[in-house]
Amino acid sequence: MNYNFKHLILFLAPLMAIVALMYFMIIWTAGVSMTEWVGLVPSWKFIGLGNYTTLLGLGRFWVNLQNNVIWLATFILPTAAFGLLLAYGIELSGRAAFIWRPLFLYPIALSFVITGTLWAWMYDPGSGVINTILRALKLDFLAGSWIASPKLAIYCLVGTAIWQYTGFAMVLYLAAIHGIPPEIREAAMVDGASHLQIFRHIIVPNVGHATLIVVATLAIFSLKVFDLVWVMTMGAPGHRTEVLPYLMFIMAFQQYRGGVGTAISVIILLLAIGVVLPYARWAMKKWMG
């Protein structure tokens, strides 16, 4: 179809204006992170890496960074593994798949504020759901302080996210399993392979691209988790569940230290770009076909 330069502008200008604004805001953030900021608006007084050295000297920053690392280390693997196992189990259940799938997928449609409210009730140390069930099962010794416990609290949050995202991993793995030519599995069945052997030698090696998507998405989520922390713990106990985006919010919007806030934004950007850049390259190549 013929088109001219006018068409190019007409169709792409609104989208490109928005994308350009976003890049501008990223650059603005990087710029402001090197200035002093007192009060409600930036003062544009250059102080070099001053905000960064302030951050590096702040114990709370390191606790937050460590918590983001805990998210990366404990959220991605179980979610992906649960998702893959469920996908295979559901695939094996044959025509019943359409019943099972929504039972595991529905949490992804809910907002983090809703699931956070709900799981705060599940984990409540007093009369909460989990402790009540454990007591009813005469398993009192397992009843704990969960979300109020300095050691357990962050894993309670991770658990909520695993519950919410397993269905997401599952649908991606289901799609990937459907993409494996059925002849391969049929041939293995004829040769007497067990379901477990098929899982290990045929399914796992052939769902690599789904793993790539799942791991990248969950890694990005681990770096930006915010709503769950806000709703479930407000960063407590101590700063044991606090993460970098949360600290960014507190610095910028509660303590009006925008310079330090933008410096945290830049650090989150640097962490995220390591995942986003290769993923965007992969997506572009795939899109080109």
The CA-to-CA distance between both ends of the chain, in Å, stands at 20
CB closer to another protein out of 80 and 223: 223
Cα separation, 112 vs 118, in Å, equals: 10
Which amino acid type is present at position 247? L
Q: Name residue 264's beta-bridge partners.
A: none
CB closer to another protein out of 139 and 280: 280
Q: By CB under 8 A, tell whether 80 contacts another protein.
A: no
| Closest distance to another protein from the beta carbon of 66 (Å) | 18
Cα separation, 87 vs 93, in Å, equals: 10
Q: By CB under 8 A, tell whether 44 contacts another protein.
A: no
Task: Please identify, among the stretches 51-59, 147-155, 199-207, 216-224, the one whose residues bind another protein according to the rule CB under 8 A.
Answer: 216-224
| Closest distance to another protein from the beta carbon of 116 (Å) | 8
Task: Please identify, among the stretches 20-28, 58-66, 141-149, 183-191, the one whose residues bind another protein according to the rule CB under 8 A.
Answer: 20-28
Residues 6+ apart with CB under 8 A from 180: 202, 203, 206, 207
DSSP character at residue 41:
S
Q: How many residues does the chain have?
A: 289
Cα separation, 68 vs 81, in Å, equals: 20
| Closest distance to another protein from the beta carbon of 81 (Å) | 13
Cα separation, 156 vs 167, in Å, equals: 18
Q: By CB under 8 A, tell whether 159 contacts another protein.
A: no
CB closer to another protein out of 190 and 284: 284
Segment 91 to 150, residues that bind another protein, using CB under 8 A = 92-93, 100, 102-115, 117-122, 124, 126-127, 129, 132-133, 135-136
Applying CB under 8 A, among 163, 188, 202, 215 the residue interacting with another protein is: 163
Q: Are strands 45-46 and 35-36 parallel, antiparallel or unpaired?
A: antiparallel
| Closest distance to another protein from the beta carbon of 185 (Å) | 15
Applying CB under 8 A, among 156, 231, 233, 242 the residue interacting with another protein is: 231
Q: By CB under 8 A, tell whether 58 contacts another protein.
A: no
Neighbours of 35 (CB within 10 A): 18
Q: By CB under 8 A, tell whether 190 contacts another protein.
A: no
Residues 6+ apart with CB under 8 A from 251: 257, 258, 260, 261, 264
| Closest distance to another protein from the beta carbon of 146 (Å) | 14
| Closest distance to another protein from the beta carbon of 120 (Å) | 7
